[in-house]
Amino acid sequence: MPISAVDVHANSFTTIALPACRDRGVAVLGMKPLGAGSFLASGDLTAPELLRWALSQPTAVCVTGCESLADVDQAVKARDGFKPMTLEECEDLESRTAKLLQSGRISEPYKSTDVHDSTDKHPEWLV
């Protein structure tokens, strides 16, 4: 499920489902820490900070899309020398993402559109 510093603001898997899973001993696979790249478009957020935030959450794994060798390198660098964010660092990034969402400079297309949902085009898959 989406695990990002942006997800925490609305219909949040991170704040609603993740704690319930953790309480029940269910391993969580986190994904979309960069919002399929859309969170970087504003120029106000960086991949390293968004990846570090996601890796600081209590998930079993963080899945990030890699469409190029540069994306792979970016993911490897996030892991190398990794140090979890402090609560204060997490809150600071979440505050910044809230302001960006409110201003419309970033959005969560996987929550607000069908761009990442092939079932919209293939409802028979849901039977």
Mean pLDDT, the chain, rounded, equals 89
Which residue reads 């970016």 in tokens? 74
Cβ neighbours, 10 Å, residue 53: 26
Question: What are the start-end ranges of the H helices in 28-106?
Answer: 47-55, 69-79, 87-103
The sign of the CA dihedral 45, 10, 62, 114 is: negative
* Separation between Cα atoms, residue 83 and residue 90, nearest integer Å: 12
Q: Give the type of residue at 80.
A: D
Residue 108: per-residue pLDDT: 77
Q: Give pLDDT tens digits for 62-116.
A: 999 888 999 999 999 888 889 999 999 999 999 999 999 999 888 776 666 666 6
Beta bridge partners of 62: 30
Question: For residue 44, is pLDDT > 90?
Answer: yes
pTM, full prediction: 0.84
Domain boundaries, the chain: 7-126
* Separation between Cα atoms, residue 61 and residue 126, nearest integer Å: 26
- 30 Cβ contact list (under 8 Å, min separation 6): 1, 2, 3, 54, 57, 59, 61, 62, 63
Q: What are residue 61's phi and psi, to 5 degrees?
A: -160, 155
With cut-offs at 50, 70 and 90, classify the pLDDT of residue 10.
confident
With cut-offs at 50, 70 and 90, classify the pLDDT of residue 34.
very high
Distance, first Cα to last Cα, the chain: 22
Residue 25: per-residue pLDDT: 95
Question: For residue 118, is pLDDT > 80?
Answer: no
